[in-house]
A = this chain, B = another copy of it.
Amino acid sequence: MKTILKGRTSEVVIDTEGPVIIIGESINPTRRKKLVSTLQDGNFDFVLELAELQIRAGADVLDVNVGFPGVDDVKLLPETVRRLQEKFDIPLCLDSPNPKAIEAALKVAAGKCLINSVNGEEKSLKNLLPVAKEYGAAIIGLCMDDDGITHDPGKRVSIAEKIIERAVKAGIKPEDVVIDPLAMAVSADPRACLVTLETIRLIHLKLGHNITQGASNISFGLPDRESLNAAFMALAIYNGLTCPIANPEKITAAVRAADLVLGRDDFAVRFVEYFQSHQ
């Protein structure tokens, strides 16, 4: 199955057979005070700098989250999208819990965006599916619903099925629903990663959709997060993850390595190319 995203003129194909597409996570105010303060001053230089760094480091798509306390991201998200698309041709992933901000951003965005995210809650489905349909966007379907977060991989898959079904009913193509299995911190629950891996395996096997994931969450609260994220990344890709949301400056080598050992990079062309341009 192939999910196609578009920038102004560019096109990125997320293919369930790989290779892996990287969605850069860095335009996000969490632990980035400088992003908050520059945006508060109406200064977009740092956002553009984060975009450029991530593209150089291997990002194929950029997640854009500019929500923080005291900001009206119904105004700020579309403005940020406009500034990014003036300078870069990379497809965008619009990231806000506020459907009005998503819609406002879709109105100004060129190409075909990914919405981060719809979940299985009635409110979310009702608010966002018509918007996605209207603007021709793809969506991330997060495996949680009105009952909250389940630790049962089978139930997470059922929520994914429900989101896909409802999306198709709303007129969205099935391949435009990318599933997020949910990743929780292994420091809090020793089985958290196993649950996510099993969910990924089942979604890949039973539903065959593309799968994304905020891949840094699993190591929250632990030291040497890079070793943990790299180990989990390889396992998640092996089971069916195709478009992680992560920091390309830290994860691209691990992603290229996983693609290579999984037979998706003949004669190591992409792996060596990445190494040569980043040593």
Residues of B within 8 A of A271 (CB): 222, 224, 228
Q: Which of A42-50, A52-60, A189-197 binds B?
A: A189-197
Contact of A231 among B224, B254, B267 (CB under 8 A): B254
Chain A interface residue count, Cβ-Cβ cutoff 8 angstroms: 38
**Copy total for this chain:** 2
Q: Does A272 sit within 8 A of B, measured CB to CB?
A: yes
A190 — which chain B residues lie within 8 A by C-beta?
263, 265-267
Interface residues of A in 166-187 (CB under 8 A from B): 186-187
Q: Decide: A230 near B228, CB < 8 A? Known: A261-B235, A262-B193.
A: no
Asked whether, in the complex, the Cβ of B261 is within 8 Å of the Cβ of A223, the reply is no
**Would A253 and B268 count as touching, CB distance under 8 A?**
no
In the complex, whether A88 has a CB less than 8 A from a CB of chain B is no
Which of B228, B263, B266 is the one whose CB lies under 8 Å from A193? B263
**Distance A85 CA – B275 CA, assembled complex (angstroms):** 42
A260 within 8 A of B: yes
- Is A227's beta carbon under 8 Å from chain B? yes
Give, as a whole number of angstroms, the nearest-CB distance from A186 to chain B: 6
The residue in chain B whose Cβ has the minimal distance to the Cβ of A255 is B231
Q: Which 10 A-B pairs have the closest CB atoms?
A: A231-B257, A193-B261, A231-B234, A227-B257, A234-B234, A227-B253, A223-B275, A190-B266, A231-B258, A228-B257
What are 28 A-B contacts defined by CB distance under 8 Å? A186-B260, A186-B268, A187-B267, A187-B268, A190-B266, A190-B267, A193-B261, A194-B263, A197-B261, A218-B261, A222-B268, A222-B272, A223-B275, A223-B276, A224-B257, A224-B271, A227-B230, A228-B260, A228-B271, A230-B257, A231-B233, A231-B234, A231-B257, A231-B258, A231-B261, A232-B234, A232-B257, A235-B238
